[in-house]
Amino acid sequence: MDCIFCKIIAGTIPSAKAYEDDQTYAFADIDPKAPVHLLIVPKKHIPSLAEADAGDTAVLGHLHAVARKLATEHNLSAGYRTVINTGPDGGQTVSHLHVHLLGGRQMHWPPG
Ligand code: 5GP
Ligand code: ZN
């Protein structure tokens, strides 16, 4: 499958790993938008949140539990932002579901 994040999970494309378990893989974003910018992805290829099904509910929760754990490890006690971009209007550019964990600076609202 020609999916960049599946290749990162498989190790055929290098990444700066932040966390791994049987369901998830987390790594540093190659183009960080904040001092801490990690991507947490399911090892299963789910193209987007819109294409997740009922059987994916547990892994969707687990991705967020991993984000919380990584936020603690990266000392983001002042807060952080988790983001899932979905589809063209959502600004999704890689078609493998991922949670962005952004922190280390003040975030703004509304997002662009
Ligand atoms: P999206 O725009 O789909 O929500 O987020 C995709 C993210 O993947 C972007 O923040 C982009 O910088 C990151 N990205 C794209 N290609 C690579 C890559 O090869 N390695 C890493 N580490 N991040 C990537
Ligand atoms: Zn994939």
CATH label of the domain that carries residue 11: 3.30.428.10
- Averaged pLDDT score across all residues of the chain: 98
d(CA 51, CA 34): 28
In a domain, 108, yes or no: no
Ligand 1: which atom is nearest the Cα of residue 91? 2
Convert the pLDDT of each residue in 46-72 to its tens digit.
999 999 999 999 999 999 999 999 999
- Provide the pLDDT confidence category of residue 1 given band limits of 50, 70 and 90: confident
Convert the pLDDT of each residue in 19-50 to its tens digit.
999 999 999 999 999 999 999 999 999 999 99
In a domain, 58, yes or no: yes
In a domain, 112, yes or no: no
Mean pLDDT of 93-107: 98
Name the residue at shortest CA distance from atom 12 of ligand 1.
Answer: 31
Query: How many domains does the structure of the chain reveal?
Result: 1
| Residue ranges making up the domain that contains 11 | 4-103
Buried b (16+ CB within 10 A) or exposed e, 60-69: eebbeebbee
